[in-house]
Structure 1
């Protein structure tokens, strides 16, 4: 089961997805809302936090969550001082009851990753692509439009016809025309 703890939050935050199951994991901690209270309201027995990239809207609540639940943080660059375990491109990480492949997808940020499970049919796209073919901004430090386009193409090639849902870093999850959404984002990023 996947639940966005930041749903309905009116302050600037990323989505913060609680993936419940054998290994209960929070994908991004969000910012500017009480993530600890949201986790406690759900009686979450949190095992870990996976950070898709270290922008403040994705990690603002990280210290509070790790302090409250005494869990490790997994991220692409463990040398950033925020994480305990480094994820590498092609690694496998368990979220809930499913294994997810780590896809290094720079362009929005050099340490950006997406997480994809063929078995679950789920992609956590973070700030690579969003609903309606939108794509991550590239005007922040470390951003690069050409690299973002390559990352979107890579993800589009990696997913298969079993992809049922994209959980982005902002906005609603994509549950219909999912592959078409990826293709639209690739075109928009290329020519937008």
Structure 2
């Protein structure tokens, strides 16, 4: 079977700055019947292991290091032997959740992660977190945005390590320049498209101020 995308939804908690919130996270599996990449190992390593099945797990890619996106990553890596990738600017956030286990590899802007005949290109999109990244796959017509861009606007920037003007710059310069038909697969909630979100940039800027 050709490369395709699978979505899992896992449930747990997001904690930062002394607060805790119940959240549902999207866990994305990208690959074919033989190998796969997991984007954001959230909450439930066992469920992700079952979804991977007997396929080779080539990588665990973290769009950023908030606990709800990385809390299952070490357990998943231990079960499968996969390497964990994270942008180094998010190491301070990572250490809040996993002080005794470092990621295995560092993501870099422009890097290409190959799996099942497709190329996931890393776009560094800081703002929600310093090391936030998105993953663009033009062949499939998708971009995985983590918590940088959602249906209806940018990810939250009201907590530590986040910055509203920076996320606006990231979205304008790195995401809204993608083809308008590009499907936006988010870290939480339903997908959208670049074309659906692009007209609202000025509204978000005004709302953010």
Q: Residues 129 and 185 of structure 1 are in contact (CA less than 8 Å); yes or no, is this contact kept in structure 2?
A: no
Give TM-score scaled by structure 2 length.
Answer: 0.79
Q: Residues 63 and 133 of structure 2 are in contact (CA less than 8 Å); yes or no, is this contact kept in structure 1?
A: yes
Give TM-score scaled by structure 1 length.
Answer: 0.85
TM-fit CA distance, 1:20 = 2.2
- Mapping of residues 2-151 of structure 1, within 5 Å: 2-6=5-9, 9=11, 12-21=23-32, 23-31=35-43, 34-45=44-55, 46-77=57-88, 80=91, 82-131=102-151, 133-151=152-170
Secondary structure of the residue that 1:119 maps to in structure 2?
Answer: coil
Q: Which of structures 1 and 2 has the bigger CA Rg?
A: 2
TM-fit CA distance, 1:166 = 1.1
TM-fit CA distance, 1:90 = 1.2
Unpaired stretches in structure 1, ≥5 consecutive residues: none
Q: Output the aligned Cα RMSD.
A: 2.2
Alignment CA distance shift 1:44-1:149 (3 Å): farther
Task: Give, in whole Å, the separation in 1 of the partners of 2:160 and 2:116.
Answer: 33
Alignment CA distance shift 1:12-1:82 (3 Å): farther
Unpaired stretches in structure 2, ≥5 consecutive residues: 13-21, 92-100
Q: Residues 6 and 28 of structure 2 are in contact (CA less than 8 Å); yes or no, is this contact kept in structure 1?
A: yes
Q: Residues 176 and 194 of structure 2 are in contact (CA less than 8 Å); yes or no, is this contact kept in structure 1?
A: no
TM-fit CA distance, 1:95 = 4.3
TM-fit CA distance, 1:96 = 4.2
Task: Give, in whole Å, the separation in 2 of the partners of 1:42 and 1:23.
Answer: 9
Task: Give, in whole Å, the separation in 1 of the partners of 2:162 and 2:200.
Answer: 16
CA deviation vs aligned residue, 1:14-46 (integer Å, no higher than 9, x gap): 211111226410000012xx3323432551522
